[in-house]
Each structure stands twice: as C-alpha cells, then as structure tokens.
C-alpha cells in the first residue's frame, strides 16, 4: 500500500519507495515529463473532490480556532488547485537536472573521469498545513528522478489524502510506479519518529513549516536533513535611503502575503531617517493596517505602537504586525540581524554603495537584497523555476532549492583495462 492505515509502518513504505526510485532513475526525461502532464490534467479533473476534502479540514480548523495565517495556508480553491496543476506543467518544461556531465577529464593513463548528476534517491518531506507542498514536492521529486515519502500535518489530512489518491490514479497511466509517491496518513507521532531514523531507505529529510517542526527534525533525525529555516526577515532603512523606495519595499514585503516565510517581520530604521520621514512613514503604516511593535525610540515617533519585548525581535508574526528597531548606523543593524535573524532573507535600502556593500558582505543569510523586497526569495520569482523550500544552511544547498538541489553526483570512470 502507498497510504498507511491505523498502524503506521513507515519502514515498509520507505522500502517500497526505494525500490520505486531505482525504476524512476532509469526513466527518460520525456517519460517523466509526460507523467507530470498526466498528473496535472488529473488534478484539474478532480478539483471538486479535493475541495470537498479541504472543506473538512477547514471546518475542523475553524472549530479548533486556528488563526487567519494558518487557515490561509490550509485553504484551497479552484484557483489554487489550477495553480498546482500549472506548477506541474511548468516543472515539466524545466531542464532535467540528472545525467548532466558537470566536468570530465582524461588521466595520463587514458582513464576517462566524468562527474555526473544523479537523483538523491528517496526524499522524506515533513510539513504542516500546506496542501500545496504535497503537489509541489511530488512534482519536483519525480522530475529529478527521486521517490518521495510525504508526511503532512494532521490539520490537512483530508486534503492531502485526496490529493495523493488523485495522483496515484494518474500514475497508473505513466511509467512511474505508484510506490514512488508514498503518503503517511497516520497522525501517530510514532510515524514521524520512524521517518527520522530510516537512514537505510531515505536519503534526505526536508522539513517545511514553523520553527518547532524544523527544530524537531534537525535535532532528532539521523537521516541527513536539508534545513528550511523560519523566515524572520529584516529590512534595514539606512540614513541615505530613498523615501519612496523604502516605503514601497516595506509595504510590499510586509503586506503582499504576510503569512509566507519571505515576508518582512522586522524593520530596522536609522534614527535620523525616521526623524526626517516620520509623517510619511506613519501615514503609510496606518493606510496599510500595520501594527508596530517598536523600541522606545520608535514609540516616540510612531503613535499607537506597542512596546516591543525580547520575543518580538525573534517573532515570525505571519500577520500585519511589524517589529521596528531603531539604530544609529549600519553596524548596529547588522548586529541586530546577527542576534535575531534566521539566515533566510535580509534587505537594505540605501543609495550609498559602500554601506550596501558592507551590509551584503557581513550579513549571514541565504538571500540578500539591495533596494528590493524580500518577497523575491522564491525559485519562480528569481527565474530558475519551482522550488521545494528555502534552505538556510550552508552545505549541499542554500536559498531556494530547485531541481538541482535534489541531485547529487557520481564520479564515473571509463577505461580499457587500466590497473593501479
């Protein structure tokens, strides 16, 4: 079976996925692309089935009192499911990341050495109330020649089960075995714990969700982890920042989609800039419904603000709340980001190139912006296609993880009888 029942048996699913991965690794680019198009078409045809399942999750969420940001991530619509399908079609258009010869050379003895990209094998995906991840991660895994084991949050269980059942039906019409897409339907914590320790069968775990989920995976898994960090993103408005640029970037980064990981959570503002541009800043904040949690200096300039505490500086609000920290120079801004940042996305607005260079050089983050919004930290927005998450670590992959991040390499040698 590809979906667990009451008693989780993650090991059997992981073993099945590993066997399927071997078959998948032999398929041509054309066969994988055809499968993705069939998956997309089948999702389109079953939109109503998925929406009915999602409504059960939404009803349960309302009864449990989930906040607006959580419900937004959980909710599906005809438009969102259409976007899922279009996303799969776009992945089909992307270049196949496997089988690429990255480099090659011939030794003095005539031995040919080639460094070639290959699939990772089996990806374990652990995530929360994000039904879109079920589709997005599956599409990227299959295109890169990987099998996938999905473990979504219990709050989206009905939605995820419906989506996976639709995808399994679609895979019957393709060269990809159904076992290449495994879904752990059990809500038992033991199932997740099993997934953490399947080193023999699962090649990498990728967590998507809040800080508690990510930390649980990073701290407890023996399977290698590609860490996707929480997005406590900062915008530093320098003393030499252009007013229009600064305000437009602040509003976009904070209000475009407040519940996503690349949304702005803290504005760090130079005291002199704040004093000079107080009125237009306050008007902008009020017009956009932004609630400020500021330090004492910020409170003296921005009416109706709330005094920030230590938790505010580290908080991923995922709402229209915004922490505001005042500083007297770029070094203080960098120090604040060092203390509270999550190495996700950080931005500076300034017309001073040297100040920008200092910020971009010294801030440790996977994505840095000079005079642009943090909302661009996304594979599609940056021009290299869909991504499975934003990596905040430094090894293997960093930043938006597209198809190449789901591959590794083999060194393949060809000779004519050479010995050593």
Least confident of 36-50, 188-202, 241-255, 384-398: 384-398
What class is the 233-376 domain? alpha beta
pLDDT beyond 60 at 1: no
At 21, the pLDDT band (50, 70, 90 cuts) reads: very high
Spatial distance between the Cα atoms of 250 and 236, rounded to a whole number of angstroms: 10
Region 95-120 average pLDDT: 98
pLDDT beyond 70 at 2: no
At 4, the pLDDT band (50, 70, 90 cuts) reads: very low
Question: What is residue 374's DSSP assignment?
Answer: G
pLDDT digits (tens, 9 = 90+) for 214-227: 889 999 999 999 98
Region 364-378 average pLDDT: 96
Distances (CA, A) of 12 to 8, 198, 208, 234: 9, 10, 24, 44
Tokens 């389109």 appear where?
A: 44
Burial class (CB in 10 A: 0-12, 13-18, 19+), 92: buried
Burial class (CB in 10 A: 0-12, 13-18, 19+), 33: buried
How far is C-alpha 228 from the geometric centre of its chain's CA atoms? 6
Region 178-200 average pLDDT: 92
User: Where along the chain do its domains lie?
Assistant: 10-228+401-414, 233-376
What pLDDT score was predicted for residue 390? Answer: 87
User: Which SS3 state, helix, strand or coil, does residue 116 take?
Assistant: strand
pLDDT digits (tens, 9 = 90+) for 315-368: 999 899 999 999 999 999 999 999 999 999 999 999 999 999 999 999 999 999
Spatial distance between the Cα atoms of 46 and 198, rounded to a whole number of angstroms: 33
Q: Measure the CA angle with vertex 90, ends 88 and 93; round to 5°.
A: 115
Please check whether residue 35 is in contact with residue 176, taking contact to mean a CB–CB distance below 8 angstroms: yes
What class is the 10-228+401-414 domain? alpha beta
Which of the two residues, 175 and 68, has the higher pLDDT score? Answer: 175
Please check whether residue 396 is in contact with residue 227, taking contact to mean a CB–CB distance below 8 angstroms: no
Question: Average per-residue pLDDT in the chain?
Answer: 94
What pLDDT score was predicted for residue 8? Answer: 57
Spatial distance between the Cα atoms of 183 and 111, rounded to a whole number of angstroms: 44
Please check whether residue 144 is in contact with residue 35, taking contact to mean a CB–CB distance below 8 angstroms: no
Region 261-283 average pLDDT: 97
Region 100-113 average pLDDT: 98
Which of the two residues, 89 and 318, has the higher pLDDT score? Answer: 89
Find the helix packing angle between 29-45 and 157-171, rounded to 10°: 130
Of the candidates 275, 279, 262, the residue with the CA atom closest to the CA atom of residue 378: 262
Spatial distance between the Cα atoms of 390 and 345, rounded to a whole number of angstroms: 10
């Amino acid at each position: 079976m590809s979906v667990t029942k009451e008693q989780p048996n993650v090991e059997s699913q992981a073993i099945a996925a590993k066997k399927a991965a071997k078959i998948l690794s032999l398929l041509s680019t054309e066969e994988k692309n055809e499968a993705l198009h069939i998956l997309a078409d089948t999702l389109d045809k079953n939109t109503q089935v998925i929406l009915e399942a999602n409504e059960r999750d939404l009803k349960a969420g309302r009864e449990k009192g989930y906040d607006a940001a959580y419900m937004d991530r959980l909710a599906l619509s005809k438009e969102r499911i259409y976007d899922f399908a279009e996303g799969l079609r776009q992945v089909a258009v992307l270049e196949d990341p496997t089988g690429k010869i990255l480099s090659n050379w011939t030794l003095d003895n005539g031995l040919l050495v080639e460094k070639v990209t290959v699939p990772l094998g089996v990806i374990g995906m652990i995530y929360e109330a994000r039904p879109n991840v079920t589709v997005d991660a599956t599409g990227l895994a299959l295109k890169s020649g990987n099998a996938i084991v999905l473990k979504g949050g219990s709050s989206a269980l009905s939605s995820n089960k419906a989506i996976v059942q639709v995808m399994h039906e679609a895979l019957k019409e393709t060269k990809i075995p159904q076992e290449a897409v495994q879904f752990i339907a059990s809500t038992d914590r033991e199932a997740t714990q099993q997934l953490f320790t399947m080193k023999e069968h699962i090649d990498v775990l990728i967590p998507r969700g809040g800080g508690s989920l990510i930390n649980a995976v990073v701290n407890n898994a023996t399977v290698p982890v590609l860490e996707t960090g929480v997005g406590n993103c900062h915008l530093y408005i320098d003393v030499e920042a252009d007013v229009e640029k600064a305000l437009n970037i602040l509003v976009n980064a904070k209000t475009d989609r407040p519940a996503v990981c690349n949304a702005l959570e803290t504005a760090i503002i130079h005291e002199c800039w704040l004093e000079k541009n107080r009125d237009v800043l306050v008007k902008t904040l009020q017009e956009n419904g932004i609630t400020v949690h500021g330090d004492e200096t910020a409170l003296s300039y921005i009416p109706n603000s709330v005094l920030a505490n230590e938790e505010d500086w580290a908080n991923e609000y995922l709402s229209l709340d915004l922490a505001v920290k005042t500083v007297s120079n770029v070094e203080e801004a960098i120090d604040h980001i060092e203390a509270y940042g999550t190495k996700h996305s950080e931005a500076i607005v300034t017309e001073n190139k040297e100040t920008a260079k200092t910020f971009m050089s010294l801030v440790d983050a996977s994505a840095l912006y000079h005079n642009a919004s943090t909302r661009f930290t996304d594979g599609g927005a940056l021009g290299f296609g869909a991504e499975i998450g934003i990596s905040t670590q430094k090894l293997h992959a960093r930043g938006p993880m597209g198809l190449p991040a789901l591959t590794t390499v083999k060194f393949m040698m060809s000779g004519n009888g050479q010995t050593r």
